[in-house]
Chain A
Amino acid sequence: MTTTKSKTVYNPVFTDGAEYRIPTFKLLKQDGSLYKGGKAPDIDKEKALRIYHAMVTTRVLDERMLGAQRQGRLSFYMQCTGEEASIIGSTAALDDADMIMAQYREQGALAYRGFTIDEFMNQLFGNELDYGKGRQMPVHYGSSKLNYMTISSPLATQIPQATGYAYGQKMAGDGHCTIVYFGEGAASEGDFHAGLNMAAVHRVPAIFFCRNNGYAISTPAVEQFAADGIAPRGFGYKMDTIRVDGNDLLAVYQATEAARKLAVEENRPVLIEAMTYRLAAHSSSDDPSGYRSKDEEAVWREKDPILRMQNWLIKKKWWSESKEKELQERLRREVLETMKRAQKLPPPPLETLVTDVYDEVPPLLNAQFEKLKAHIRKYPDEYPKSAAHVQGGA
């Protein structure tokens, strides 16, 4: 049985699909006005300010924490800079109970859902209040109460997982969907193919959201794929696909809102490709001056998604320069104070080394743990983070 209804030709006809260029959906100009013919999605003042607050929070947090990494206070950091509209615009178009499965550059989604600066800091410093118990590198956030699946470093593994998660949501019939974020580099992994094909075949309520920011570390998109970006691949899977200006909050919001409707009401998975630019370095371990020019970055700085959103808000008289100044100052102060607090908290207790490998600690692992504790008791000065805990008779 074949699903292809193809017409027959009698000469060899090749096509590379180039005759169909996928358009980019835009609504908002950089000055905050709308393109002719575009209509802003239905976002009220309260929601617009919630979105904007999350954007600025993300930017301030990123700037400050990169600085903290440079000062040696933090082992590692990754910024969302330049991609705030893509992430926050799409998350804002969802129901807060929808599942988010992210790659690592999506802290804006957490900020929108209400993850507090304390919660960010606890993970970054891996202290005793970190939900992840200090086990993962900084920026690998997770929150069950905010429906944000814990991040893992292996790229694209979350893509077929999102398909499975969404299948479970469809079976539960709870009217929710899953959005899964990934970069254009991760889309080269086999798991991208696996996840999208299975989503289309099994008709799951999932939104595949690609942040095409031009670079995977040092590799420019032209060395990542030969085609017209990621979006054309959606056709190959028979998936509803759209390309959107990723620096345009209104366009991202409207596209995602429509995608959610298709996903939840018709079980049609959707592929969204958001065209954006990674304004920051890949991570605190990377220096982009080795592979791209300042001039190129400057072009994109002009297209800053936060300024574009701010201009729209000001035009609507929902925001002002004085409010902006007040918000920036308040957030900077809060981030600094919270960082100091988080840094002083003790590390997670020693037993978190062996818990949660399984639901219960197996005997062989427990024996290894007892041996380790005896060793630490013998050399307490060499293990300052855990010695007090062991001496305390735990």
Chain B
Amino acid sequence: MAKMNMLQAINDALDIAMATNDRVLCFGEDVGVFGGVFRATSNLQQKYGKDRCFNTPLVEQGIIGFANGLAAQGSFPVAEIQFADYIFPAFDQIVNESAKFRYRSGNLFDVGGLTIRAPYGGGIAGGLYHSQSPEAYFAHTPGLKIVVPRNPHQAKGLLLASINDPNPTLFFEPKRLYRASTGEVPEGEYELPIGEAEVLKEGTDVTVLGWGAQMEVIDKAVEMAEKEGFSCEVIDLRTILPWDVETVAESVLKTGRLVITHEAPLTGGFAGEIAATIQERCFLYLESPIARVTGIDTPFPLVLEKEHFPNHLKVYEAIRESVEF
């Protein structure tokens, strides 16, 4: 075990992936000798050469189109989009191409080797275009996997699993935690399962569900709630698509209450999908309405970021209201 922050864990995962498989390539804007604007690809070009870790021209649709072609050829491209806010020029390549490549060809061709990494999320004074959480746009697209880690240990294990997964995978990294989150990370290669939520803490009164950087917010809120005597079960969804219905439903069958929180806006956010599904699955067991604590339905603001943000106080209030309903 070694103590790392999330960036170091991601860099370590990329290093291991490139060392174990010479068809793994890392590319994107500024990922080359500079090592990325967040330094996630530090030293990879120096270690594996310019052919395997390189800068691309500044064109997101090109980066993903190029990555699709490479993956179809049998390589394992790990493409970086500098901020998740700038993934939209590549939306067509991801939604119409990556996601449908295997299905439309009858499995003659696929882009299973593809992984797209992108820093996401707010809380860093990033304003409209350095704060977004776009996972719900992609969750509406069969054929993709969407993974979000919450800490360095998760980041390394889930990124290695994403690179090795035989399906195109979007890996959204909570940039607010890049340096803020540190922890023990196993050395060498290991994978954490994609498609499985993780129960972080057992409880009996209410299930509190989130992913990525929001898990830190949940921890604070739950700490407050437990002091009030509310027993909270905490779940990290980890994979947005395909998501782990069983683990969440099992928990809600027990607690009878569910609070879901994400940074992205409420309307059309992934919490809506979870709420609808759990309502179907657990109707007779629900003791309060399913609560969603999310960003409000505005673009992500700069100065009033704190007001907009689904922070621990808002999550705590939702837990209290849910239990006292």
Q: Name the CB-closest residue of A to B277.
A: A364
B288 CB-CB contact with A under 8 Å: no
Q: A165-B72, A362-B195 are in contact. Are A197 and B62 (CB under 8 A)?
A: yes
Among the listed B54, B71, B106, which residue makes an inter-chain contact with A133, where contact means beta carbons less than 8 Å apart? B106
B97 CB-CB contact with A under 8 Å: yes
Among the listed B59, B70, B108, B242, which residue makes an inter-chain contact with A164, where contact means beta carbons less than 8 Å apart? B70
B105 CB-CB contact with A under 8 Å: yes
Q: Residues of B contacting A363 with CB < 8 Å?
A: 242, 245-246
Which of B73-81, B206-214, B264-272 is the interface stretch? B73-81
The answer on a CB contact under 8 Å between B103 and A135 is: yes
B321 CB-CB contact with A under 8 Å: no
The answer on a CB contact under 8 Å between A357 and B72 is: no
Interchain CA distance A39-B234 in the complex, whole Å: 77
Interchain CA distance A143-B23 in the complex, whole Å: 24
The answer on a CB contact under 8 Å between B102 and A164 is: no
Q: Name the CB-closest residue of A to B168.
A: A358
Among the listed B69, B104, B143, B242, which residue makes an inter-chain contact with A136, where contact means beta carbons less than 8 Å apart? B104
Interchain CA distance A193-B166 in the complex, whole Å: 30
Q: Residues of B contacting A33 with CB < 8 Å?
A: none
Mask for A132-143, Cβ within 8 A of B = 1, else 0?
Answer: 110110001011
Tell me how far the C-beta of B162 lies from the nearest C-beta in chain A, rounded to whole angstroms.
13
The answer on a CB contact under 8 Å between A131 and B108 is: yes
| CB contact list, B49-77 vs A, under 8 A | 51-52, 54, 56-57, 59, 61-62, 64-75, 77
Q: A357-B142, A359-B166, A364-B243 are in contact. Are A164 and B109 (CB under 8 A)?
A: no
Q: Residues of A contacting B322 with CB < 8 Å?
A: none
Q: Name the CB-closest residue of B to A160.
A: B65
Q: Residues of A contacting B97 with CB < 8 Å?
A: 152, 154, 157, 161
The answer on a CB contact under 8 Å between A132 and B106 is: yes
B93 CB-CB contact with A under 8 Å: yes
The answer on a CB contact under 8 Å between B242 and A364 is: yes
The answer on a CB contact under 8 Å between B109 and A144 is: yes
B96 CB-CB contact with A under 8 Å: yes
Tell me how far the C-beta of B107 lies from the nearest C-beta in chain A, rounded to whole angstroms.
5
Q: Residues of B contacting A178 with CB < 8 Å?
A: 69
The answer on a CB contact under 8 Å between B66 and A163 is: yes
Interchain CA distance A162-B70 in the complex, whole Å: 8
The answer on a CB contact under 8 Å between A364 and B65 is: no
Mask for B280-308, Cβ within 8 A of A = 1, else 0?
Answer: 00000000000000000000000000000
A365 CB-CB contact with B under 8 Å: yes
Mask for A117-136, Cβ within 8 A of B = 1, else 0?
Answer: 00000000000001111011
Q: A143-B108, A164-B66, A198-B56 are in contact. Are A358 and B72 (CB under 8 A)?
A: no
B317 CB-CB contact with A under 8 Å: no
Interchain CA distance A135-B61 in the complex, whole Å: 25
* Tally of chain A residues near chain B (CB < 8 A): 50
Tell me how far the C-beta of B73 lies from the nearest C-beta in chain A, rounded to whole angstroms.
3
A111 CB-CB contact with B under 8 Å: no
The answer on a CB contact under 8 Å between A160 and B62 is: yes
The answer on a CB contact under 8 Å between A160 and B93 is: yes
Q: A161-B66, A168-B69, A364-B242 are in contact. Are A190 and B104 (CB under 8 A)?
A: no
Q: Residues of A contacting B73 with CB < 8 Å?
A: 99, 164-165, 167-169, 172
A191 CB-CB contact with B under 8 Å: yes
Q: A161-B68, A166-B69, A168-B73 are in contact. Are A197 and B106 (CB under 8 A)?
A: no
Q: Residues of B contacting A362 with CB < 8 Å?
A: 195, 242
The answer on a CB contact under 8 Å between A194 and B61 is: yes
The answer on a CB contact under 8 Å between B105 and A132 is: yes
Q: A362-B195, A363-B246, A364-B242 are in contact. Are A161 and B69 (CB under 8 A)?
A: yes
Tell me how far the C-beta of B82 lies from the nearest C-beta in chain A, rounded to whole angstroms.
16
Q: A160-B93, A191-B62, A201-B57 are in contact. Are A359 and B167 (CB under 8 A)?
A: yes
The answer on a CB contact under 8 Å between A171 and B51 is: yes
Interchain CA distance A164-B249 in the complex, whole Å: 42
Among the listed A140, A165, A202, A356, which residue makes an inter-chain contact with B107, where contact means beta carbons less than 8 Å apart? A356
The answer on a CB contact under 8 Å between A365 and B61 is: no
A149 CB-CB contact with B under 8 Å: yes
Q: Residues of B contacting A99 with CB < 8 Å?
A: 73
A271 CB-CB contact with B under 8 Å: no
B92 CB-CB contact with A under 8 Å: yes
Q: Name the CB-closest residue of B to A136.
A: B104
| CB contact list, A146-202 vs B, under 8 A | 149-150, 152, 154, 157, 159-169, 171-172, 178, 190-191, 193-195, 197-198, 201-202
Q: A357-B103, A358-B167, A364-B243 are in contact. Are A160 and B109 (CB under 8 A)?
A: no
The residue among A131, A164, A356 with the most chain B CB atoms within 10 A of its own CB is A164
Q: Name the CB-closest residue of B to A157.
A: B97
B39 CB-CB contact with A under 8 Å: no
Tell me how far the C-beta of A157 lies from the nearest C-beta in chain B, rounded to whole angstroms.
5
Interchain CA distance A343-B251 in the complex, whole Å: 51
Q: Residues of B contacting A165 with CB < 8 Å?
A: 69-70, 72-73
A-B residue pairs, 9 tightest by C-beta: A160-B65, A164-B69, A194-B62, A168-B73, A161-B69, A150-B105, A164-B66, A362-B242, A165-B69
14 extra interchain contacts, Cβ-Cβ under 8 A, other than A168-B74, A169-B73?
A: A131-B105, A150-B109, A152-B96, A154-B92, A154-B96, A161-B68, A163-B65, A163-B66, A164-B71, A165-B70, A197-B57, A198-B59, A352-B106, A357-B102
What are some 17 contacts across the A-B interface (CB < 8 A)? A130-B106, A144-B108, A149-B72, A149-B109, A150-B108, A152-B97, A154-B96, A160-B61, A161-B72, A164-B67, A194-B62, A198-B59, A198-B62, A357-B143, A359-B167, A363-B242, A364-B242
Residues of A within 8 A of B (CB): 99, 101, 130-133, 135-136, 140, 142-144, 149-150, 152, 154, 157, 159-169, 171-172, 178, 190-191, 193-195, 197-198, 201-202, 352, 355-359, 362-365
